[in-house]
Amino acid sequence: MRSLYCSLLALMTLTSCARAVVFTRCELYHELLQRDFPEDQLPDWVCLVENESARNTSALSPINTNGSQDFGLFQINNRYWCDSWNGTEGSCHVACKDLLDDDIDDDCACAHLIFSRQGFDAWHGWTKRCKGKPLPDLSHC
């Protein structure tokens, strides 16, 4: 529904529709569930996203000390994962800037790939603030 609305809006205004969306905790839960994140992992994923991007689909990190930068809901790094602005190709085959819009299909696909290679440990926001800590209660979602 959101993307249909977005397409109509884009057509009417002849602009691209790259709105920032900040999900509520329960919206995020449902968005992730729809995109094949296992239900028993959702407390970890929600905690991860809350600490990486504050659930903001347009979150963009400052440039890190090693010159890399993190993009979108999952703060995906351009060193290895998205196609960095200096012409190198990332493993997810997605342009970093496309991880900043409110279409999170590409973000989720890339997060699945990162997880399949490195697990939750790939995310500092998770290792620092979620690993072994109390996780969000999603039972009311």
Ligand X SMILES: *[C@@H]1O[C@H](CO)[C@@H](O)[C@H](O)[C@H]1NC(C)=O
Q: Which residues bind ligand X (CB under 6 A)?
A: 20, 22, 46-47, 50-51, 54, 56, 58-60, 64, 66-68, 77, 79, 84, 86-88, 124, 129, 136
Q: Which is nearer to ligand X, 12 or 66 (CB)?
A: 66
Contacts of 58 (CB under 8 A, 6+ apart): 18, 20, 21, 72, 100, 101, 102
Smallest distance from ligand X to CB 136, Å: 4
106 catalytic per annotation: no
Choice between 99 and 108, CB closer to ligand X: 99
Over its C-alpha atoms, the chain yields an Rg (Å, rounded) of 15
Look at strands 76-77 and 70-71 and give their pairing.
Answer: antiparallel
Q: Which of 31, 70, 106, 107 is catalytic?
A: 70
Whole-Å CA distances, 50 to 53, 72, 119: 6, 12, 17
Nearer Cβ to ligand X (11/39): 39
Q: How far is the CB of 118 from ligand X (least distance, A)?
A: 10
| Minimum CB–partner distance for residue 20 and ligand X (Å) | 5
User: Is 52 one of the annotated active-site residues of the chain?
Assistant: yes
Distance CA 62, CA 67 (A): 10
Report how far residue 46's alpha carbon sits from residue 41's, in angstroms, rounded to the nearest whole number: 9
Task: Name the residues annotated as catalytic.
Answer: 52, 70
